[in-house]
Amino acid sequence: MSGFTALLRRDLSLVWRRPGDVGVVLAFFVVATVLFPLGIGPETNVLARIAAGVLWCAALFAALLSLERLFAADYEDGTLDLLLLAPWPLELAALAKCLAHWIVTGLPLSLLAPVLGVAFGLDGPSLLALMATLLVGTPTLSLIGGLAAALTLGARKSGALLALLALPLCVPTLIFGAGAIETLAAGDGIVTHVAILAALALVALATTPWAIAAALRQAGE
Amino acid sequence: MADLHFLANPARFRRFSQRVLPGLGFATALMLAVGIYMAFFVAPEDYQQGKTVRIMFVHVPSAWLSMGGYAMLSALGASLLVWRHPLAALMARAAAPVGASFAAVCLLTGSLWGRPMWGTYWVWDARLTSMLLLFFLYLGHIALSRAYDEPERGDRAAAILALIGVINLPIIKFSVDWWNTLHQPASITRLDAPAIHNSILVPLLWMAVSLLFLFVYLVLLRTETEIDRRRLENAEAAA
Amino acid sequence: MSNHAAYILASYLVAAAILGGLVIASLATRRKVRRELAARGLEKRR
């Protein structure tokens, strides 16, 4: 477990020293979201209707954007070889990397999304629901994206490939995340949606670390 | 399947496929010809779907084969990762484009069926959407297995992806169904009839078996080619 | 109902184009790989 926290702390402090990397991802999220009203038009009822889907898709793309470098730096400078030799499970290392990714992207995206939601004319409960679903749903995106990043390590055109691999697997999270706000608008509670999102996160938590570790092992061979 | 174990050796597989392929190809062509004749001239028109029911004879078997193909891909992935089966990697590489092609046939014939029946080429129907996502999973598998300079790495990465994909497929199916009931206007005619009459079922199953033969033929042919290609690459690496 | 024939025909043609195309492409690749193997003396010429 000490290895887990050490790796997590290292990854976070690496980001801490270069906050611009996180800033770029958040800026992309804001700009991408703002493009939608410009493209679709400023009618408030239309915007409120599509807000959840737009914000969820933009968050998904923003999370993917930062994933390409998740293992690449460690792969290039040899850290990955040390992780492979380390006496503690590689699955934990994979989990630590994904957790670090979530803390520096998923978490700020979830906190930023309600602010953008105001610009789309979402009401208070919807903003809260948006933040809640993003908080529960984005860990799944980090885990699935982490797997795609590990699989494409050292591949040609890895950025586009990563998106091709991760996006279909992220569909359930997107559906239940964006669907929650719509259910709320229809007058129902979002508990079911949040519970299913949590279940999806748990399934990802139970499967992806092993797959990531397997992918990293074959990359290190 | 245990009796097929002797095929695990690529050289032996190659001898086997070379012996079997010509006959299998001939049988497939014959069966498809009979199947198409049945589909056009023997099967009656459906009272609801009219003549368009004939599209189902290619559409439905393609859906089955593309789903079965993905299951096969993940089984091959497991046998590569667990037993390091040398042939499994080559077979997965050979089978993925075949499965993707059947998925594409399913999608295109589905949308050609939808135009007269639903009045539009594309409906975000739960089944069509799931099939589209399955097609994307196939594309990811194909792209990943060919993205590396060392083919063995691509094989193993794609095998991991196929295993994760097969775990996620039921989840994707479930979530798309949920999403569909949330959004779908209920007026759309459903594909499933209360019960399929034998006069429709027999040509359907015949076409399914014929297309399964085609699937097997293609996989064997392409696996054989992959074996030869790997030999060629090894020879080039040695030279 | 007769105008539906075009859609039926189109779907059979599309299926034939995709699957037939895959068969032809696979056969062509096999021939090409075999010829390259033969050129290297790894396979007796047929």
Q: Which three-class secondary structure string do you get for chain C? A: CHHHHHHHHHHHHHHHHHHHHHHHHHHHHHHHHHHHHHHCCCCCCC
Average model confidence (pLDDT) for chain A?
A: 87
Within A88-123, where are the H helices? 90-101, 107-119
> Which pLDDT value is given to residue B62?
92
Residues in B closer than 8 angstroms to C4, CB to CB, are 50-52, 116
> Which pLDDT value is given to residue A155?
83
Judge whether B55 and B46 are in contact, CB under 8 Å.
Answer: no
Rg of chain A over CA atoms, in angstroms? 18
Judge whether A47 and A40 are in contact, CB under 8 Å.
Answer: yes
Within chain A, where are the H helices? 2-17, 20-40, 44-65, 72-77, 79-85, 90-101, 107-119, 124-151, 158-185, 191-220
pLDDT above 80 (res A2): no
Burial class of residue A185, CB neighbours in 10 A (0-12, 13-18, 19+) = middle
> Which pLDDT value is given to residue A46?
84
Q: Which residue has the tokens 């299998």?
A: B24
pLDDT above 60 (res A77): yes
Distance from CA of A207 to the nearest CA of B (A): 8
B182 pLDDT tier (thresholds 50, 70, 90): low
Is A169's Cβ below 8 Å from some Cβ in B?
Answer: yes
The pLDDT tens digits for B96-154 are 999 999 999 999 998 888 777 777 788 777 788 888 999 999 999 999 999 888 888 88
Rounded-to-integer distance, Cα A155 and Cα A149, Å: 10
Q: Which of A76-80, A188-192, B91-95, B191-195 has the largest mean confidence?
A: B91-95
> Which pLDDT value is given to residue C44?
52
Is A56's Cβ below 8 Å from some Cβ in B?
Answer: no
DSSP helix/strand/coil, B46: strand
**Which chain B residue's Cα is nearest to A150?**
B157
> Which pLDDT value is given to residue A157?
78
| Cross-strand pairs, B50 | B46
Residue of B87, B70, B135, B83 lying closest to B107 (CA atoms): B135
First to last CA, chain B: 38
pLDDT above 50 (res B45): yes
> Which pLDDT value is given to residue B161?
93
A83 pLDDT tier (thresholds 50, 70, 90): confident
From B108, B231, B235, residue closest to C14, measured CB to CB: B108
> Which pLDDT value is given to residue A148?
93
The pLDDT tens digits for B5-44 are 555 677 888 888 888 898 999 999 999 998 888 887 777 7
DSSP helix/strand/coil, A80: helix
Rounded-to-integer distance, Cα A49 and Cα A43, Å: 10
The pLDDT tens digits for B202-219 are 888 889 999 999 999 999
Strand ranges (E), chain B: none
DSSP helix/strand/coil, B43: coil
> Which pLDDT value is given to residue B18?
86
B3 pLDDT tier (thresholds 50, 70, 90): very low
Average model confidence (pLDDT) for chain B?
A: 83
Cβ neighbour number for residue A86 with a 10 Å cutoff? 13
ipTM of this complex: 0.86
The token duo for A140 is 């799944």
Residues in C closer than 8 angstroms to B212, CB to CB, are none
| Selected residue with higher pLDDT from B236 and B67 | B67
Is A214's Cβ below 8 Å from some Cβ in B?
Answer: yes
- Say how many CB pairs under 8 Å bridge B and C: 83
Q: Which residue has the tokens 């589209």?
A: B132
Rounded-to-integer distance, Cα A162 and Cα A64, Å: 8
pLDDT above 50 (res B92): yes
The pLDDT tens digits for A10-31 are 888 888 887 777 888 899 999 9
Residues in C closer than 8 angstroms to B225, CB to CB, are 26, 29-30, 33
C-alpha B210: how far from its chain's center? 13
User: Residue A160: CB partners within 8 Å, gap ≥ 6?
Assistant: none
pTM of the model: 0.88
Percentage of residues of chain B with pLDDT beyond 70: 87
Rounded-to-integer distance, Cα B67 and Cα B78, Å: 17
DSSP helix/strand/coil, B50: strand
